[in-house]
Amino acid sequence: MTDTMAVPAASLPAVAPVSQTDGGSYRVHAYAFSAPAFLLLFATVIAPVFVVLIVSLTNYKLGHASLSFIGLGNYARLLQDPYFWNALKNSAIYTSIVVPISVGLALIIAALLINRTRSRRFYEVIYFLPVTSTLTAMSIVWSYLLNGNIGPLAKLMTSLGMKPFDFLADGDLALIGLAVIGIWHLLGFNLILFLAGFTTIPKELMDAAQLDGIDSFWDRLRYVIWPLIAPTTIVVVAISCIQAFQAFDTVAVLTNGGPYGATEMLLYKINQDSFIGLKAGYGSALTVIYLSLIGLFSIFQILASNRKVHF
Amino acid sequence: MHGRGIKIANVRKHFGGSEILQGVDLDIQPGEFLTLLGPSGCGKSTLLRMIAGFDQLSSGSIHIGGRDITQLPPKKRDVAMVFQSYALYPHMTVARNIGIPLEMSRLSFRQRLPGSRLLSRHVRQTYREIEQTVAKVADQLDLKHLLDRKPAQLSGGQRQRVAVGRAIVRQPSVFLMDEPLSNLDAKLRTQLREEISDLHRRSGITFLYVTHDQTEAMAMSSRVALMQSGRIVQCARPQEIYNRPSELAVARFVGSVAINELPVTVVNGQVLLAQRALNLRAPEAPDGSYTLGLRPESLDAVPQGGDADFTLPLLHVEFSGSEVTLRCDGAALGIDRIRIQMRAERFDRLRSDGGIDDRVALRILAQNALLFSSSGQLMPAPLKVAEAGR
Amino acid sequence: MVLRLLHLARTAAVHAFLMLGAFLMAYPFIWMWRASSRSAGEIFGAVSNPPPIWEAISENYGRALFETPLLRFMLNGLIMTGGILIAQILTTVICAFALAKYDFRGRKILFALVLLSLAVPAQATALPIFIVLVKVGLLDTYFSMMVPYLTSGFAIFLFHQFIKSFPDEILLAARLDGMSEIEIVFRIVMPAMLPAIAAFAIFSVTFHWNDLYWPMIAIRSADMAPPTLGLLFFRSQGGGGDSFGPLMACATLVTAPLILVSLVAQRKFVQGVTMTGVK
C-alpha cells in the first residue's frame, strides 16, 4: 500500500489518466459491464415496445397461428369503440377527481406540517401508511368499508336517517368509491414529495417573511410557499396523473369494471382485451394509446424536475 | 427614523439538554452600533434571532425603547433584519422585494387579493405610494436601474443592497444584521463595510451586528460584545477590547496576528520567564504562575547586546505593505513561536545597521503587556518597567 | 394574553384537522385488524355474546396460516422480490459504473435508452413478454414472475448519478494499488453507495411485493401465486361469511411486513419510495 504512494505520478504514464477521456484500454470492461443490463433492457423494454407497435397494426389473436397486417385498422376500430371511449372517459373522470384532491390536500397538510417540529414525524408516519400498504389487500378491506349494508359510513348515514350510499354497487357512485381509495392511497406519497420540496425553501427566507409581515397561514402559502414550490407541484401533478391512469388493482379486486362498465378504466380494458379476450392486435393498439399518455406525463415530469425558474 | 435602545435582561435559552445562552445581560444605547462578536456556536445568532422574534426565550426579557417585546410577533417589534443569505424572495423583482413589508403592513388581506387594484381607488393609491417609497430607497442605495430584475440576476453585492433596502424601507428603530458580509469577496466586503457605517451614521438608528470576523467588528462598531459559549465575556469599545481584554480568551480572539502567550512566574512582584527576570514588574500580583500576553507590536526589536529582554533566532519575515511580521523560534522561552510586528521602515533600518541578522533582540513594552492569572483573568493593575538595578 | 389564547386555539384547530386526516388514513388498517381479531358475527353486528378476543385471533390467524396456502404465497413473494432485487443490483451497479466512469462508443446512445425506458410503464410491455413466455413454455414459473424486472432503467439512472460524483482519484489510487476493475466496483464503489442501494431496495421490494398486474398475467396456479394474487384466489374460493375472519387475517399478514419495515425505518423508506419523484 504505502510504497505505491511513494511513486511519483509522472512516472506512471500508462495507468493514471485513463478514467474519463481515453476509452481505449477500458473498452472491453465498458461493454462487458453494461452488456447484461442493456441486453435485458432491450429484451424487456425496448423490443417489446416495438413489438407492441407492430402488433397493433395486425389482427393477431393470441393462440392463433396466422396474422395479417391491417394497417391502422385497429386504431380506426378503436375510435368507433364505445367501450374504449367509456374507459378513457372513466380514466379521465377518475384522474380529475383523484389528482386535484390528493395534490391540494397534500399541499395544505404539508404547509401545516412544516411548522410542527415535534408532531411532524408522527403525522408523516400515519399519512404514509397507505402508500406502502398492499393495495390488493387493502382493497378487500375497502370493499367492506364502502359497502352499503355493513360499511361504517352506511351505518352512520342510516342512523342519521339518510339512505346509505352503496358505493361499489351503484353505477353513479362506483367510480367515486374507487377515487376515494385512490386518494387515500396517493395522498401520503404526494405529501412526502411536498415536504421534500419544502426543505428547499431556506429557513432564513421564512424568517424574513415573518419579519416582513407575511405570517398568516394563507399569506405564507401565497407569497412564499406556493411560488417556490411551483416546480415541485408540477412534478407531483404529473406523477399523480401517471398513478391515476395506472389505476388497476382496485378495479380488478373490487368491481371488475362494473357495474355495467361504470368503472372500466383504460388499463383494466387493456388487460381484459389482451389477456382475457386474447385480442392481441387490438389490445396493442390500446397499449400504444396508453403508452403515449403516460409518456406525455413523464415528459412533463422530467421537464419540471429540471426546471430551476420560478414563476 | 429614530434609534431605540435595547435592554436584554438575563436571557437564557435551553435546547435539549444544553444551555445555548446562559443568562445574557446587555444594554444597547439608542443609535449605537453594537457588534456581537464570537466564534460560531457561541450563541450570538440565537440572541439576534430572539431579538427579531424567531426563537422563543427560555427565560428573561427583551425591551426595545422601553417596551417589553418578549412575546410580540416579529413584525410588531419595530426591527428590521439583513440575513446572511439575504433571504430575498427569488420569484419577486427587486422592487417587489423592497416593497413587500409596506404592502403587508398597509393593505389588508382582502385588499391584497388579485384584482382589488382594479376595484378600489384606495388600493391603487396605496400601491402608488409604496412604489414611490421603494423608488426613493432604491435611489439611496443605487439600485434604481435594477428594480425590475430578479435576485438571481444580481451580483452578491447588489443582493446585499436589496436586502438592506427591504430592511430600511420600513423605517425601523432597530436594525439587525446577521453576518451580512460573509458571502462576499474580500474587496467588496471592505467597500460594503463602509457603506453600512455610512448608513448607520446617516440614519441614526440602532444597529446590532453579528459577526465572527474580528476585523469587521473592530472597524465598524462603537462597542463590541464578545461572546463565548453562551455568555458575554466583555462588552466595550473596540480599542479597549484590544488593549485591555478582560480574559485571555478575548485576547486570543481579537487581533489579526495572534497574541504571544508566555508562561511566566511572579515572585515578589518581579516577573520571571524561564527562571530569568524580565524588565517588568507586577507590583500587585501575588506570587504564582501567570500567562504574559504580548501583542506582536508590544515587542520592540532593539540593537543586540543592549537592554533586550531576550534574543531569539529569526525564522521568517512576512511583508504586508507598511507592516512587517517576524516569526522567531521561542524554544528558549518554553513556547513554539514568537510573533513581532513593526513598521517596514523600522525593520529596514534595523536590518541595515545590523540590529537584526539571523537573531533578533527583543524588549517588552511594559505599558502594553498583559498579565493573565492561571484561570485566564486579566490582572487589573498595569505592569511597570522594572527599576534599574535588577 | 389574548394573543396567546388565539395562538393556542389556532394550534388546536390545526391539530384537530391533521388528526382527523390521520384517523381517516389509519382507519382501514384499524378496521382490518379489528376484523381479523374478532369472530365474523361480531363484526357485522348481531352477536350478543362475543368470544374472547384471543380465541378469535388464534382462530382467524390459525386458519389463515395453516388452512390456507398463505405461507406458500408469502414464500413465493419472498422468492420473487428477492430474486428481482438481486438481479437488479447485480446488473445495474456495474452498468451504471460503466456509464459513469468509462468513455466508450455508444455510451450516449445507451444512456438515452435508459432515460427512454423510464417513461415506459411496465404494463405496456406485458403483452410481448407474455407471448414469448407462452411460446417457450415458461409461463407460471418463478422465472416468468421476475423476467420483466430483471434490470431497471431507474436503478441505472439513479446509481449513475451517484457514481458520477464519486471521486476519480480514488479509482486511480485503487488501480495503482493493482485492483482489477470488477474489484473496484465491488470493493470500493459499492460500499460507498450502500445508502443509495438500500433506498432503491426498499423501493423495489415495496413495488414488487404489492404488484398485482404482472402476476395476474404470468401466474396461473395458486401454488406459484405471490401474496397479492394469492389473496384474490383465496377470496374467490371462500366468499362466505365464515372465512371472513381468516381472509382479514391473511390481508393483515400480507400487509404487515412492509408496514412494520416502514414504521421502523421510516426515513429510509420514505426516501426509497419517493425516489421516483424528486431528482
pLDDT in tens, B177-206: 999 888 888 888 888 899 899 999 988 899
Check whether residue A235 and residue A302 sit in a common domain: yes
Report yes or no on A64 lying in a domain: no
* Dihedral sign (CA C234, C235, C239, C244): positive
State chain A's mean pLDDT as an integer. Answer: 83
Q: Kindly list the partner chains of chain A, i.e. chains with 3 or more CB atom pairs below 8 Å.
A: B, C
Confidence band for B15, pLDDT divided at 50, 70 and 90: confident
Write the pLDDT tens digit of every residue in C225-242.
Answer: 999 999 888 887 765 556
Tell me: do A249 and A120 sit in the same domain: yes
CB B279 within 8 A of CB B390: yes
Which pLDDT score is estimated for C97? 93
Q: What is the dihedral of CA B347, B349, B352, B358, to 10 degrees?
A: -30
Q: Which contiguous run of DSSP H or E holds residue B206?
A: strand B206-211
Beta carbons of C129 and A249 less than 8 Å apart? no
Q: CA–CA distance from B217 to each of A5, A58, B242, B249, B256 (Å)?
A: 46, 81, 11, 16, 12
The C-alpha atoms of residue B127 and residue B138 are separated, in whole angstroms, by 16
Cβ atoms of residues B214 and B37 within 8 Å? yes
Altogether, the residues listed in chain B come to a count of 390
What chain B holds in terms of domains, given with CATH numbers, is: 6-247 (3.40.50.300), 257-385 (no CATH)
Q: Is residue A61 part of a domain?
A: no
User: What is the predicted pLDDT for the residue at B335?
Assistant: 85
| pLDDT score at B222 | 93
Quote the CA–CA distance of C157 and C163 in Å, as a whole number.
Answer: 10
Does residue A70 lie within any of the structural domains?
no
* Residue range A202-219, pLDDT digits in tens: 888 999 999 898 888 888
CB of B263 closer than 8 Å to CB of B294: no
- Residue A53 included in any domain: no
* A135 and A209 inside one domain: yes
Residues A51, A67 contacting (CB under 8 angstroms): no
3-state secondary structure A133-186: CCHHHHHHHHHHHCCCCCCHHHHHHHHCCCCCCCCCCCCCCHHHHHHHHHHHHH
- Categorize the per-residue pLDDT at B387 as very low, low, confident or very high, splitting at 50, 70 and 90: low
Q: Are residues A39 and A149 in the same domain?
A: no
> Who wins on pLDDT, B351 or A50?
A50
Tell whether the model's pLDDT for residue A111 goes beyond 90.
no
Q: State the pLDDT at residue A20.
A: 46
pLDDT at residue A40 above 70? yes
Which of C31, C102, C229 has its CB closest to that of A30?
Answer: C102
User: Is-contact B172 B80, C-beta < 8 A?
Assistant: yes
- Same-domain status, A32 and A143: no
Q: Is B90 exposed, middle or buried (0-12, 13-18, 19+ CB in 10 A)?
A: middle
Same domain flag for A147 and A20: no
List the 183-242 stretch of C: residues with Cβ below 8 A of A: 185, 206, 209-210, 212-213, 216-217, 227-229, 231-232, 235
- Which residues of chain B approach chain C closer than 8 Å at the C-beta? 71, 73
CB < 8 Å to B55, chain A: none
- Look at B274 and A250; give whichever has higher pLDDT: A250
A53 interfaces chain C, CB cutoff of 8 Å: no
- Of the listed ranges B142-156, B177-191, C107-121, C235-249, the least confidently predicted one is C235-249
Per-residue pLDDT tens over the stretch C93-110: 999 999 999 888 888 999
Provide the percentage of residues in chain B whose pLDDT is more than 90: 42
Domain holding A239: CATH number?
1.10.3720.10
Q: Per the structure, how many domains does chain A have?
A: 2
User: CA–CA separation, B277 vs B281, rounded Å?
Assistant: 9
Query: What was the ipTM of the complex prediction?
Result: 0.87
Rounded-to-integer distance, Cα C148 and Cα C214, Å:
9
Q: In whole angstroms, how large is the CA radius of gyration of chain B?
A: 26
Domain containing residue A22: 2-47
Residue C203, pLDDT > 80, answer yes
**Is the model's pLDDT at A3 over the cut of 60?**
no
Identify whether residues A16 and A83 lie together within a single domain.
no
Q: What is the mean pLDDT of residues B150-171?
A: 91
Instruction: Tell me which chains share at least 3 CB pairs under 8 Å with chain B.
Output: A, C
More confident residue, A167 or B136: B136
Tell me the helix, strand and coil percentages in chain A, rounded to 5. Answer: 70, 0, 30
For chain C, give the mean pLDDT: 86
C150 touches A: beta carbon within 8 Å: yes
Could you tell me which CATH number the domain at C66-274 has? 1.10.3720.10
Q: Is B277 in a helix, a strand, or coil?
A: strand
C-alpha cell at A9: 505520478
- Best mutation site among B49, B76, B89, B105 for testing chain A: the one with the most A CBs within 10 Å? B89
Separation between Cα atoms, residue B89 and residue A223, nearest integer Å: 9
Per-residue pLDDT band for B389 (boundaries 50, 70, 90) equals very low
Residue B7 has a pLDDT of 93
Question: Same domain for A140 and A95?
Answer: yes
A159 and A300 part of one domain: yes
A293 contacts chain C (CB < 8 A):
no
Q: Which residue has the higher pLDDT, A63 or A176?
A: A176
Q: Which residue of B has its CA nearest to C7?
A: B73
pLDDT per residue as tens digits for the range C162-180: 898 888 888 888 888 888 8
pLDDT bucket at B46, cuts 50 / 70 / 90:
very high
- Judge if A108 and A6 occupy the same domain: no
Which residue ranges make up each domain of chain C? 66-274
Do A164 and A296 fall within a single domain?
A: yes
Instruction: Assign C278 a pLDDT band (cuts: 50, 70, 90).
Output: very low
The strand pairing partners of B317, in sequence order, are: B326
pLDDT value of position B200: 92
Q: Give burial (CB, 10 Å; 0-12/13-18/19+) of A68.
A: exposed
**Mean residue pLDDT across chain B:** 88
> Does A287 fall in a domain?
yes
Same domain, residue pair A222 and A295: yes
C161 part of contact set with chain A, CB < 8 Å: no
Phi, then psi, of C212 in degrees rounded to 5? -115, -30
Q: Decide: C80 and C208 in contact? Cβ < 8 Å.
A: yes
pLDDT at C51: 63
- The residue of chain B with its CA nearest to that of A223 is B89
Dig out the grid coordinates for A42 from the structure. Answer: 432491450
